[in-house]
Amino acid sequence: MASAVDMTSHPRTAVIFPGQGSQVLGMLQELAEQYPEIQETFAEASKTIDVDLWEVCQDEERLAMTQYTQPALLTASIAIWRILQPKMPTPCYLAGHSLGEYSALCAAGVIKFADAVPLVYKRGQLMQEAVEGIPTAMAAVLGLEDQCVVTLCEQACEIVDGAVVNAANFNSPGQVVVSGNQIGVEKVIDNVQSTGKKAIPLKVSVPSHCDLMQPASAELAKALDKISFSLPTIPVIQNRHARVEQTAADIKLALTEQLCESVLWSKTMQVMSDKQITRLIECGSGNVLSNLAKRQTHPIASYPTDKPMRLDKLLEDLL
């Protein structure tokens, strides 16, 4: 956890929502024993897609499948949001990392929860179908500047016949995730290692935020067109351009493009800093985003909420 902030000085707060990769087997089990909102929210979500999402969270194999991971994580985030929201001042901003953007938009009232769960379930299916039969991979590149990683991806596509690889997530200075087909990612890994830096393969079922997702992006646009979007009650900084979109059409377009374009998380955190945000609350499973908050150019204290001790302490501070 980042260093403590003086909670009595009315900190400017933003709430951030984690994405795929933050799921943990049995996530929120301890919280569910203390807060009925957890089980209530999971039951509500499960009815919308006829899948028992609480059971999914106890099944390692199914939880790792993108089509189940995404609605499970969205539900976990909204369950915690429902505990927090009545007890806290309205946040200045919301943001979500990749899939977490849907949680943020749901929390902001842009998408109804009953629509958001089937939407991300469909999103996961589309992503899986887009790479059916294609060997794919993702890897975290550590210690290189952003543009250097972009250049290595471009070089891999030029040098290796059939290679597809893109810089998918700009997570923090010195941490960029690359995504694509196996031959493309492996070439980038080789090139990174030749510079003396590290590239760590990630265990994922689909390669997010790369050119391979373009067919899924086109189909997702059709699904988004069928859903009614409202303007947010809280500004949401979206991944595509690291900015608050002003119309429902622009929000949908940013979601569509997000699927095959980079997640600008470092830039999003810089925007938070520029807006004088002094406290981040990570609303969902794990503490991935809180750890990333420590590594930004301008770190902001961030508080995870996925364990009773963490959530109870935060709620005490919010009173």
Number of residues written out for the chain: 319
The token duo for 184 is 């493309």
DSSP, residue by residue, 181-213: EHHHHHHHHHHHHHTT-EEEEE--SS--SSGGG
The helix/strand/coil state of 286 is coil
The token duo for 267 is 């830039």
**Distance between CA atoms of residues 123 and 212, nearest Å:** 14
Distance set, CA 98 to CA 240, 254, 316 (Å):
9, 11, 30
Q: Tell me which long-range contacts 38-42 makes (C-beta under 8 A, separation of at least 24).
A: 38/79, 38/80, 38/83, 40/79, 41/75, 41/78, 41/79, 41/82, 42/75, 42/79
Pick from 135, 130, 132, 267: nearest CA to 209 = 130
- Name, in order, each residue with C-beta under 8 angstroms of 121's C-beta and a sequence gap of 6 or more: 49, 51, 67, 68, 70, 71
Looking at 46, 209, 285, 302, which residue is catalytic?
A: 209
Where do the DSSP E strands lie in 97-151?
136-142
Catalytic residue status for 194 = no
Catalytic residue status for 97 = no
Looking at 22, 46, 77, 98, which residue is catalytic?
A: 98
Looking at the DSSP assignment, which residues form a beta bridge with residue 179?
Answer: 138, 166
Answer for the pair 176, 266: CB distance below 8 angstroms, yes or no: no
Q: Which residues are the active-site residues?
A: 98, 209
